[in-house]
Structure 1
Amino acid sequence: MTPHHPHPDLAALLTRSREVIAAQQADNGAYPASPTFSAYRGYCWFRDGSFIADGMSAAGEPESAGRFFDWCSAVVLRHADAIAEIVGAAAAGAPLPDDRMLPARFTMGGELGHDQWWDFQLDGYGTWLWAMTEHANRHGLDPDRWRPAAVLTVDYLVSSWDRPCYDWWEEHDEHVHVSTLGCVAAGLRAAVEHEMVVGERADRARDVVARVDDVLASRGTVDGHLTKWLGTREPDGSLSALVAPLGLVDPGSELAGRTLDVIERELSTDGGIYRFRADTFYGGGRWPLLTCFYGLARAARGELEQARAAFDWAASTATDDLLLPEQVDGSLLDPSMRQEWVDRWGTVATPLLWSHAMLLRLAAAIDLIDTEETS
């Protein structure tokens, strides 16, 4: 990747990232995706929130992360009846339609939203299992208070793991997405390894993890690299996460190396990572959070120079107020589409809490941050 000038005051930026996330976290533990962006305001995603919590946990803010997992647990338990209905219908061979599956996002109070959204996404439920167990292990905590919700989440994922659904980007619900499968498998594996589930339930979870591995090897890999969805050769910027921090793909493997190389070759310009080549959202810009995922994966392979370059690029996108955006202008994939999104939703989400969290997570991975508990 092309070296990029880092932000002139990294300590201030990392402190600001902690402060932005902490200040916006609700009393019940929910993290808003962005406090000001019209389409995100008032909602918490399991996916975004889980990665935000992981960043805070790794950066020495365990109390914040724990409160988010409390929120996840409360939401899952609140929807226990819906999960039982979903699991039962799948077992009977009559799966419920997509609009009756659990949504990707909830109101900050944990209720179903009333705005139309691309809601059926499975990845966030695997991500919360993974992030919660990582947090407990990192800080030597007993995760037992989250066990009842973890059991329900495992049942939900085991029943529905192979269904087509919307991806991280809330697009293409006709496909089975590799990053979604990776999040599901990482969560189920974590639940088993940390004994959140045992007995036959653990056996079923192990079986799904093995089946995901087989699917990724047979249908989610082309020319030695992971693909955006089953049946394409195109990459996606989210695939770095399967190498790190999720650890589903061995960082030292040829698969990891080739996947990161194709992301760099096809989805990188001047150090920043795009979502995918056909992206038109706000013109298709480069995303700081994806660049941090890429940096985490390079760091996990011991490629620290590339990891630091990714960090420096992400840090350089901060505004004068030390706020990180969702994506940046410049070198857009389809500039003609930018204004259409500005007219629809306003300017790019800034701050995006997920961007701040990934900067913290990468800083911790490459020893740029004091990870002693600060709360």
Structure 2
Amino acid sequence: MTVGSDVTHADLALLAERSVELIDRHQSPSGAYPASPTFSAYQGYAWLRDGAFIAEGMSRMADPAGPSAFHAWCARVVGARGTQVSDLIARTGRGLDVSPADMLPTRFTLDGSNGTDEWWDHQLDGYGTWLWSLNLHVRRHNAEIPGLTAAVRTVTEYLTAFWQVPCYDWWEEHVDQRHVSTLGAIHAGLRAAIALGVLTRPLTEAAEEAIEAIAILVANEGVARLGEVISSSDIRPGETNASTDKRPRGVNPGTATQPGGVDTSSAVGRANSHGAGGGGRSPEENRGWVGGAATVTPGGPGGSHGVGGGGRSPEENGGWVGGEFHLTKWLGVGVVDGSLLACVEPFGLYSVEHPVGVGTVAAVERSLGDGFGVYRYLEDTFYGGGRWVLLAGFLGLNHAAAGRPEEAMAYLRWMAAQANGDGELPEQVSDRLLAPERRDEWIERWGPVASPLLWSHGMYLMLADELGVIA
């Protein structure tokens, strides 16, 4: 039986409509999109990364006023930190050290302040992701965003100066590494900054140099063949026209330590949990919002079936098989991470046709896919290490872009099947945990899995739009 076969097209459209309504309702008057309105660790905070993907989903499917307000909030928040960026660049120019604590924040309060709660707070990907999302929205709707020019220049100065600096990854882990998904987001963001046409000539040249340097670095140190890191000039990312561009969490098990505590580089930071919707309940306990008992067939993409394609033969998959090369979690290792999907679609560091793009999608699906849900990484222990709803959205986007709409639709249906009775999508689902013995410690610390997670809804909207499911 096909995954979510009792989820009709009307159900999918209804969840898209519910997602738009939910995101609209929870958007702050300031314009910020809260990561989750009720989850204790995220409540009252907005991430540039989460918000940028939420805004892209809303820009595609809803009134552009909401995402315009978000981008205006970002421009105010970033523009207000121009002096901080100039000071950081000046300090490094004098040979002075800067620490992660000196860098721009990862998340902000809804009014745009830094906040007072400790967090894993040096992440560069969100700034690149915001530029990528901003460019798409402006071009799609001819939107006028107050403060755009100053903010884009500030972020470009920041990223061109510090893109090589190690930082936390999408999952707020491993501050000592240079993460390929972070580099992919910066690459996409700098291309977008150039496409917006507001950079000075020196900034444009600096962005172009950084784009080229990132491509070379990733090709040389961030691509693996059969688990071995390789260096090859013929696997360089292809050229991408920024003006027509269609289009972020670690490896160690980690412990539930506070930021700034012992070994924060491997402590499990913010992660997305997996259950059958509704706080990790089973499908039987969770009377799902879409159909109540949506069927999810085990053994979908990934598992033990070989490289990608849902375990089906090349003939059944229209000839699609995995590539020989794939991107790696960070520079110099051979393992994959779910966040790498974004480096193909939607960021376009490698195209879906490029051997590295093909291989990356296949490697993630083979290693981390399970029943159309996707794990962050195999050693994940956050809330027991569940399958992330939003990562299913990224995998679906990649299938859609590569001309595999049936595969993409299976992921959308699986995402819809995770909604609870109120139509809320969680961060992760808890029916197939990688480390079930670690789940309770996180519930004791922060309560049930985040639900709703607005990023999950944003990714649902992006994939639904790609597949012609209209809210």
| TM-score, structure 2 normalization | 0.77
SS at match of 1:273: strand
Aligned position for 1:239: 340
When structure 1 is superposed on structure 2, of 53-62 and 219-228 the one drifting more is 53-62
Q: Distance in 2 between matches of 1:313 and 1:285?
A: 14
Q: Distance in 1 between matches of 2:6 and 2:61?
A: 19
**Contact 2:72-2:146 within 8 A present in 1 as well:** no
**What is the RMSD of the two structures over their aligned residues, measured on CA atoms?**
1.3
**Is 1:312–2:312 an aligned residue pair?**
no
Q: State the identity as a percent.
A: 46
For 1:258, give the aligned amino acid. G
Q: Distance in 2 between matches of 1:138 and 1:279?
A: 37
Aligned position for 1:150: 152
Map residues 1-375 of structure 1 onto 2, 5 A cutoff: 3-5=3-5, 7-8=7-8, 9-142=11-144, 145-223=147-225, 224-369=325-470
1:278 Cα deviation after fit: 0.7
Structure 1's consecutive aligned runs of 4 or more residues displaced over 2 angstroms after TM superposition are 2-8, 90-95, 140-145
Q: Distance in 1 between matches of 2:62 and 2:464?
A: 12
Q: Distance in 2 between matches of 1:144 and 1:282?
A: 40
**Contact 1:192-1:198 within 8 A present in 2 as well:** no
Structure having the higher helix fraction is 1
**Contact 1:89-1:95 within 8 A present in 2 as well:** yes
Aligned pair in 2 of structure 1 residues 310, 129: CA closer, same or farther (>3 Å)? same
Q: Distance in 2 between matches of 1:258 and 1:73?
A: 36
**1:157-212 deviations in whole A, cap 9, x for unaligned?**
01100111000000111110000001111000111122131311100001001111
1:6 Cα deviation after fit: 5.8
When structure 1 is superposed on structure 2, of 305-314 and 140-149 the one drifting more is 140-149
SS at match of 1:106: strand
For 2:139, give the aligned amino acid. N
1:5 Cα deviation after fit: 3.4
SS at match of 1:252: coil
SS at match of 1:44: strand
1:145 Cα deviation after fit: 4.1
Q: Distance in 2 between matches of 1:89 and 1:346?
A: 41
When structure 1 is superposed on structure 2, of 232-241 and 85-94 the one drifting more is 85-94
SS at match of 2:204: helix
When structure 1 is superposed on structure 2, of 279-288 and 194-203 the one drifting more is 194-203
Q: Distance in 1 between matches of 2:418 and 2:191?
A: 35
Aligned position for 1:373: none
**Contact 1:5-1:316 within 8 A present in 2 as well:** no
SS at match of 1:225: strand
**Contact 2:71-2:145 within 8 A present in 1 as well:** no
Q: Distance in 2 between matches of 1:196 and 1:280?
A: 43
1:117 Cα deviation after fit: 0.5
**Contact 2:425-2:452 within 8 A present in 1 as well:** yes
**Contact 2:389-2:427 within 8 A present in 1 as well:** yes
**1:121-179 deviations in whole A, cap 9, x for unaligned?**
00000111110001111123355741110000000001100111000000111110000
Q: Distance in 2 between matches of 1:308 and 1:355?
A: 16
Q: Distance in 2 between matches of 1:342 and 1:127?
A: 30
Q: Distance in 2 between matches of 1:339 and 1:5?
A: 32
Q: Distance in 1 between matches of 2:6 and 2:63?
A: 24
SS at match of 1:70: helix
Aligned pair in 2 of structure 1 residues 176, 315: CA closer, same or farther (>3 Å)? same
When structure 1 is superposed on structure 2, of 79-88 and 281-290 the one drifting more is 79-88
**Contact 2:68-2:145 within 8 A present in 1 as well:** no
**Contact 1:56-1:357 within 8 A present in 2 as well:** yes
SS at match of 1:176: coil
**Contact 2:58-2:64 within 8 A present in 1 as well:** yes
1:82 Cα deviation after fit: 0.9
1:231 Cα deviation after fit: 1.4
**Contact 2:383-2:440 within 8 A present in 1 as well:** yes
1:238 Cα deviation after fit: 0.9
Q: Distance in 1 between matches of 2:162 and 2:95?
A: 11
**Contact 1:4-1:271 within 8 A present in 2 as well:** no
Q: Distance in 2 between matches of 1:120 and 1:88?
A: 19
**1:36-65 deviations in whole A, cap 9, x for unaligned?**
000000001011011111110011331111
Q: Distance in 2 between matches of 1:194 and 1:351?
A: 33
For 2:423, give the aligned amino acid. L
Q: Distance in 2 between matches of 1:246 and 1:289?
A: 15
Structure 2: which 5+ residue stretches go unaligned? Answer: 226-324
